[in-house]
Amino acid sequence: GQQLNQSPQSMFIQEGEDVSMNCTSSSIFNTWLWYKQDPGEGPVLLIALYKAGELTSNGRLTAQFGITRKDSFLNISASIPSDVGIYFCAGRPGAGSYQLTFGKGTKLSVIP
């Protein structure tokens, strides 16, 4: 089946630093999504990307849908303690597909 390779697996950063994480795949994806999971909660959608090359921002978060449709990155600028959590990339393999394929997640720790 299709797989998403998400990196890094974990990150420890100082408050105020910028963060970057990415996902790659050997297959084309139709949609790229970035989710955040807080402890004890389910994943919450942060950003959705629908077109190759699309660059979208949501506050301090910026994400891009790669031109080849096989990769995406998420940047967080000026990190704060509440950014702590697990970030997942996810993709829809085809138009009309309801099924999401997820990466393994990036665990982010922010040191105050």
Whichever of 5 and 18 has its CB closer to other proteins, that residue is: 5
For 8, other C-beta atoms within 10 Å of its C-beta total 12
Whichever of 44 and 111 has its CB closer to other proteins, that residue is: 44
Distance of closest approach, residue 62 Cβ to other proteins, in angstroms: 19
The three state secondary structure string of 34-90 is: EEEECCCCCCEEEEEECCCCCEEEECCEEEEECCCCCEEEEEECCCCHHHCEEEEEE
Whichever of 63 and 79 has its CB closer to other proteins, that residue is: 63
Instruction: Output the six-digit token pair for 6.
Output: 């998400």
Distance of closest approach, residue 90 Cβ to other proteins, in angstroms: 8
| Residues forming the site for other proteins (CB under 8 A) | 3-4, 31, 35, 40-45, 48, 50, 88, 90, 92, 96-105
